[in-house]
């Protein structure tokens, strides 16, 4: 039997990149069957939320004098090295430990077995496979639920129970199914599978080397880089696109991020910089224009095209639509004019001839605002109503802002992504640099997260740590 480590952690929350460990419980089982148990409270360096205190029974007072993870890291690593890492919802526990070690500059990797997946494989007739269900189903003895060592002991008990209930062949077949190593294209080193992280980020596929370097084939984003990369190759038998990509790829790189927002921003930025051959979206869109409204007096608002390069998209400027060029913008405005009985002259689509109605009025589409038959204000109300579905989200703040994600801060100004930082000096450099052009894809991405934006404090008050 290979050495095993049954692991459970208690934490301040559910996000491995920002929350921290408060307790570690490990049950070690050696190849000869010898068992050792270890439990350690950990000072997370941050407050434990009240509902977590209530759930786990671990209070802020209990961890106040406990060592930080940096102090117990070596001991934790010693107890896990060379062992099969077994946990319930293993992605959670493994992810937290990987992130804690990463903060110390240590790369932690271990073969992992999830007992939720193992239970589903061995007992498919049951719908629930959480730890409480396993306790009830298999008669496991729980001394203190939601404490690390007690839960690790329960996982060990489940392991012992399946070796009573199921034959060795059934268990081996289940383990083989769960731990089957996915295949990689022949041009890639098989050891890459062990290096791929199971964290958020972006991944880059490169093709053959040329005189200009390796050809960028594809840039993708992922909540779990390892799972997403391997999914490309597991699907190559059923998708012509995936098969072509698998045949061409010669190298895979990746960049880890603190979360999904960072991965989305990094993907959009890299696709525009590298122009990979297999990416069809997120291409460059530098020359964009939008409609704004100019007050001509007496209730008349006239649409005017503006380049996105010149706008800050503030609350004082309403913008409508994003267009590749003036031709596209004008076609959209003409369609709205036809649909909402608007005047081509007042819209600037037709030159005004004093005393003469616009062509739209002659064909009974325009209601006569061009010759005084309809008040300007009434025409303006219809125009604004027609444009409302094209209205862009206004930049909600007076200056630059940031979105906090784990230990990273994404800096934004007027919907322009400046970059991602972890320290004040990096933020100062980005703010001092020339502001990048407005980008439609970045805008669409960031507009969804407008509620998460915080105003950037003045330099003397600012901290991103």
Structural domain includes residue 238: yes
Q: Is residue 167 part of a domain?
A: yes
Residue whose token pair is 């309809």 = 374
Same domain, 367 and 420: no
Do 217 and 143 fall within a single domain? Answer: no
- Which of 274, 304, 321 is at the close of a domain? 274
Q: Both 28 and 173 in a single domain?
A: yes
CA angle 428-434-440, nearest 5°? 110
Domain count within the chain:
4
Q: Are 114 and 177 in contact (CB under 8 A)?
A: no
Last residue of a domain, one of 390, 420, 447: 390
Answer yes or no: do 245 and 314 share one domain.
no
Residues 6+ away with beta carbon under 8 Å from 8: 25, 87, 88, 93, 148, 149, 151, 152, 155
Residues 173 and 197 in one domain: no
Q: Judging by beta carbons within 10 Å of its beta carbon (0-12, 13-18, 19+), is residue 302 exposed, middle or buried?
A: middle
Task: Residue 381: give the domain boundaries.
Answer: 289-390
Q: How many helices, marked H, and strands, marked E, lie in the chain?
A: 18, 15
Q: In terms of domains, do 88 and 214 share one?
A: no
Residue 419 belongs to a domain: yes
How does pLDDT run across 135-189, given as a tens digit for each residue? 999 999 877 787 999 999 999 999 999 999 999 999 999 998 887 666 778 788 8
On the 0-12 / 13-18 / 19+ scale of CB atoms within 10 A, 363 is exposed
Q: Could you report the per-residue pLDDT of 393-426, keeping only the tens digit for each?
A: 999 888 899 999 988 999 999 999 999 998 878 8
Q: Is residue 382 part of a domain?
A: yes
Q: In this structure, are residues 386 and 340 in contact, taking their beta carbons and an 8 Å threshold?
A: yes
Sequence-distant (6+) residues with CB within 8 A of 340 are 382, 383, 385, 386
Cα dist from 395 to 295, 315, 398, 415, 416, whole Å: 21, 6, 8, 7, 10
Q: Are residues 23 and 141 in the same domain?
A: yes
Same domain, 153 and 41: yes
Nearest-angstrom CA–CA distance, 389 and 385: 8
Residue 183 lies in a domain: no
Residue 281 lies in a domain: no
Q: Which of 216, 250, 274 is the last residue of a domain?
A: 274
Q: Does the residue 228 lie in any domain?
A: yes
Residues 159 and 79 both lie in one domain: yes
CATH classification at residue 227: 3.40.1440.10
Residue 249 lies in a domain: yes
Q: What is the pLDDT of residue 282?
A: 63
- Give pLDDT tens digits along the chain (465 positions): 789 999 999 999 988 888 999 999 999 999 999 999 999 999 999 999 999 999 999 999 999 999 999 999 999 999 999 999 999 999 899 989 988 998 999 988 888 999 999 999 999 999 999 999 999 999 998 777 879 999 999 999 999 999 999 999 999 999 988 876 667 787 888 778 778 888 899 999 999 876 667 889 999 999 999 889 988 887 545 567 777 888 899 999 999 999 999 999 999 999 988 999 888 766 666 679 999 999 999 999 999 999 998 788 887 789 999 999 999 999 999 999 999 999 999 999 998 888 889 999 999 999 999 999 999 999 999 999 999 999 999 998 888 999 999 889 999 999 999 999 988 788 888 999 988 889 999 999 999 999 999 998 765 454 444
Chain segment 348-402, per-residue pLDDT in tens: 999 888 888 999 999 999 999 999 999 999 999 999 999 999 999 999 888 899 9
Same domain, 158 and 201: no
Give the DSSP H or E segment for 405. strand 401-405
User: Residues 141, 162: one domain?
Assistant: yes
| Distance from C-alpha of 11 to C-alpha of 28, rounded to nearest angstrom | 21
What is the structure's pLDDT at 465? 44
Q: What is the pLDDT of residue 385?
A: 96
Q: Same structural domain for residues 154 and 214?
A: no
State the sign of the Cα–Cα–Cα–Cα dihedral 460, 461, 462, 465: positive
């Amino acid at each position: 039997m290979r050495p095993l480590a049954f692991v459970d952690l208690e934490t301040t929350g559910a996000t491995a990149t920002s929350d921290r460990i408060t307790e570690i419980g490990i049950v070690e089982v050696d190849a000869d069957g010898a068992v050792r148990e270890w439990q350690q409270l950990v000072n997370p360096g941050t407050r434990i939320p009240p509902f977590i205190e209530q759930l786990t029974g671990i209070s802020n007072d209990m961890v106040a004098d406990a060592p930080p993870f940096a102090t117990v890291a070596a001991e934790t690593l010693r107890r896990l090295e060379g062992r099969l890492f077994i946990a319930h919802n293993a992605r959670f526990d493994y992810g937290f430990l990987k992130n804690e070690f990463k903060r110390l500059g240590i790369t932690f990797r271990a073969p992992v077995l999830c007992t939720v997946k193992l239970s589903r494989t061995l007992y498919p007739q049951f719908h629930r496979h959480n730890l409480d269900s396993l306790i009830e189903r298999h008669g496991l003895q729980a001394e203190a639920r939601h404490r690390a060592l007690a839960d690790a002991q329960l996982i060990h008990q489940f392991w012992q129970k399946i070796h009573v209930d199921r034959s060795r062949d059934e268990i081996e077949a289940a383990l083989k199914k769960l731990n089957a190593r996915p295949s990689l294209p022949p041009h890639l080193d098989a050891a890459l599978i062990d290096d791929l992280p199971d964290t958020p980020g972006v991944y880059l596929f490169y093709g053959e080397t040329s005189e200009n370097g390796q050809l960028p084939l594809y840039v993708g984003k992922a909540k779990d880089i390892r799972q997403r990369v391997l999914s490309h190759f597991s699907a190559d038998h059923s998708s012509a696109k995936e098969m072509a990509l698998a045949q061409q790829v010669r190298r895979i790189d990746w960049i880890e991020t603190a979360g999904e927002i960072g991965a989305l921003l990094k993907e959009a930025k890299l696709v525009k910089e590298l122009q990979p051959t297999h990416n069809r979206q997120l291409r460059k869109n530098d020359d964009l224009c939008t409609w704004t409204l100019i007050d001509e007096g007496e209730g008349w608002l006239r649409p005017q095209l503006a380049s996105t390069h010149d706008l800050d998209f503030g609350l004082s400027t309403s913008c409508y639509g994003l267009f590749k060029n003036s031709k596209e913008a004008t076609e959209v405005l003409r369609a709205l004019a036809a649909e909402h009985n608007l005047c081509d002259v007042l819209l600037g689509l037709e030159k005004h001839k004093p005393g003469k109605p616009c062509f739209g009025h002659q064909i009974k589409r325009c209601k006569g605002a061009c010759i005084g038959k309809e008040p300007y204000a009434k025409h303006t109300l219809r125009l604004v109503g027609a444009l409302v579905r094209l209205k862009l989200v206004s930049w909600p703040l007076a200056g630059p802002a940031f979105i906090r994600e784990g230990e990273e801060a994404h800096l934004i100004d007027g919907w322009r992504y400046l970059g991602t930082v972890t320290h004040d000096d990096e933020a100062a450099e980005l703010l001092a640099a020339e502001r990048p052009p407005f980008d439609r894809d970045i805008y669409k991405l960031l507009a969804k997260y407008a509620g998460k934006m915080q105003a950037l404090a003045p330099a003397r008050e600012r901290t991103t740590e």
